[in-house]
Amino acid sequence: MAQFTHDVLVIGSGAAGLTAALHLSRLGKVAVLSKAELTEGSTFYAQGGIAAVLDSKDSIDSHVDDTLIAGAGLCDTKAVRYTVEHSKQAIEWLIEQGVAFSTEPPDTNGEVKYHLTREGGHSHRRIIHSDDATGRAVSTTLVGAVKQQSNITLFERYNAIDLITDNNDKGNHVAGAYALNLDNDSVDVFNARFVILATGGASKVYLYTSNPDVASGDGIAMAWRAGCSVSNLEFNQFHPTCLYHTGAQSFLISEALRGEGAILIRPDGSRFMPEYDERAELAPRDIVARAIDHQMKKLGVECMYLDITHKGAEFIRGHFPNIYQRCLELGIDITQQPIPVVPAAHYTCGGVTVDLNSRTNVNGLYAVGEVACTGLHGANRMASNSLLECLVFAKAAAEDIEAKFNQPFQQSSIPEWDDSRVTDSDEQIVITHNWHELRQVMWNYVGIVRSDKRLARAQRRIELLKQEIHEYYANFRVTNDLLELRNLVQVAELMVQCAMQRKESRGLHHTIDYPETGQQLINTLLSPKLS
């Protein structure tokens, strides 16, 4: 067992975590924990881009209004405006770090402008991107920048187990975290005055997801166990268009295709989105996902199709080179064939409750990015606002830490991890079975369309699974799979509790028992009862 001491501990190595680390590196020693390789998170796989007001024809107010409309009445207006007002600054910072965004051909004066695309819910072209692999460009650039900073220490393949808190006369204060070293199975102690959770979302709780394997709700579960409140976890975004193919179950077909004119069609080639919304394929994701889900169930088929063949081969290969190449590897030429697509769990709109400084209700603990609920997304996230949120709120957290950095602080003494009373697991099948059952239960009962009966069934089964997993955790040595399962079952329970409290259909939460949207605008807030 090793002990490490830093001024700031950042748990997560995506856009949120690395942005925070870079802003803090001049202040003191920063540790960044990454559960897998540094780029193996949702940021790396983000295709579309980053929403920002960069065009003179666009405006702050327009971006704010679009976000509020998509959020179905539950956005925090202050959080939305704060985010949008800092969007240009965030993009300029990324460009300074070296992110190469796509550009237009030079105009008659030789001036080169950034290419902006449009996505669902946006009234203007405001999505700045790097071809169709923006996340990869952002992730690799930030990783490169972090590696140049001597004050930042990177710990790859470390899975945080739990936050360590200290209750004193000033309240509950974070003191660090225990983390499992996945290379040697030791549990190490990370002492830190400030901790930033940047662990991403929890879409792995569903059977079908566009997210990488690391998206197991770790930060939400750890924060809950440490005493943090959570908000709006009933709002889980299902991306309408994941590639339907056995060889690529989590490959995303970007929103940008529909922004550039792709249409959704049935197996017989007929279009259906105009029947559901006047914005057709450019409607917000929840509407598109429900429409696809409804058509699949109505026709008894396993997928719908996305057709962009009418745009021409040169246009498609130029704008979507990565999607074109990946589909081609799987035998689908998107310049000549429609793409088979299905909805899949994509984004967790709720999360750990934070303020405009990214502060949780535990002193010294911050949450940034998908793990957090800032109020930006409300009941439905608008496309390409998530990377923007990571950048803006990571900087906000760093600025708040900087303001407190020189205040007097007494570092707590953290005990070593005690595993003297546990043994190595002799039945991995318990984890494997419960893992599959949990994700199947969530997909069937807490998915795109819900009901009181489905939620009640899910709650009963999740409670039994939670008891089994807790017993297993208490008796056997921790492993990566066990930690993820423990976190997922906790987040699943919170999602169901939030969903059961909402007696209406709003945004991403659609229930057949309450199909109408209510008049009251109420956020769902859960607070843990700590002994």
Q: What's the pLDDT score for residue 40?
A: 81
Largest CA distance in the chain: 74
The answer to whether position 365 is within a domain reads yes
The answer to whether position 488 is within a domain reads yes
Q: What's the pLDDT score for residue 170?
A: 67
Residues 41 and 139 in one domain: yes
The answer to whether position 529 is within a domain reads no
Query: In whole angstroms, what is the distance from residue 115 CA to residue 319 CA?
Result: 10
The answer to whether position 143 is within a domain reads yes
The answer to whether position 193 is within a domain reads yes
How many distinct structural domains can be found in the chain? 3
Residues 476 and 333 in one domain: no
Residues 186 and 170 in one domain: yes
Residues 434 and 376 in one domain: no
Residues 66 and 176 in one domain: yes
Residues 110 and 151 in one domain: yes
Q: What's the pLDDT score for residue 169?
A: 61
Query: In whole angstroms, what is the distance from residue 257 CA to residue 320 CA?
Result: 8
The answer to whether position 420 is within a domain reads no
At 493 the three-state DSSP class reads: helix
Residues 163 and 214 in one domain: yes
Residues 333 and 200 in one domain: no
Query: In whole angstroms, what is the distance from residue 231 CA to residue 351 CA?
Result: 6
Domain region containing 440: 428-517
Structure tokens at 53: 């007001």
Q: What's the pLDDT score for residue 39?
A: 79
Residues 94 and 206 in one domain: yes
Residues 106 and 17 in one domain: yes
CATH number, position 436 = 1.20.58.100
Query: In whole angstroms, what is the distance from residue 393 CA to residue 89 CA?
Result: 12
Which residues are annotated as catalytic? Answer: 285
Q: What's the pLDDT score for residue 37?
A: 85
Residues 110 and 88 in one domain: yes
Residues 142 and 279 in one domain: no
CATH number, position 175 = 3.50.50.60
Q: What's the pLDDT score for residue 110?
A: 83
Q: Are 312 and 286 in contact (CB under 8 A)?
A: no
The answer to whether position 57 is within a domain reads yes
At 83 the three-state DSSP class reads: helix
At 368 the three-state DSSP class reads: coil
Q: What's the pLDDT score for residue 255?
A: 83
The answer to whether position 415 is within a domain reads no
Torsion of CA 132, 76, 217, 497, to 10 degrees: -130
Predicted structure pTM score: 0.90
Query: In whole angstroms, what is the distance from residue 255 CA to residue 248 CA?
Result: 18
CATH number, position 298 = 3.90.700.10
Q: What's the pLDDT score for residue 272?
A: 98
One digit per residue, the tens of pLDDT, for the chain of length 531 reads: 899 999 999 999 999 999 999 999 999 999 999 998 887 888 887 777 999 999 999 999 999 999 999 999 999 999 999 999 999 999 999 999 999 999 998 888 888 899 999 887 899 999 999 988 899 999 999 999 999 999 999 999 999 999 999 876 667 899 999 999 999 999 999 999 999 999 999 999 998 898 888 899 999 999 999 999 999 999 999 989 999 998 777 788 988 899 999 999 999 999 999 999 999 999 878 889 989 988 988 898 989 999 999 999 999 999 999 999 999 999 999 999 999 999 999 999 999 999 999 999 999 999 999 999 999 999 999 989 999 999 999 999 999 999 999 888 777 778 888 887 778 877 788 889 999 999 999 988 999 999 999 999 999 999 999 999 999 998 889 999 999 999 999 999 999 999 999 999 999 999 999 999 999 999 999 999 865
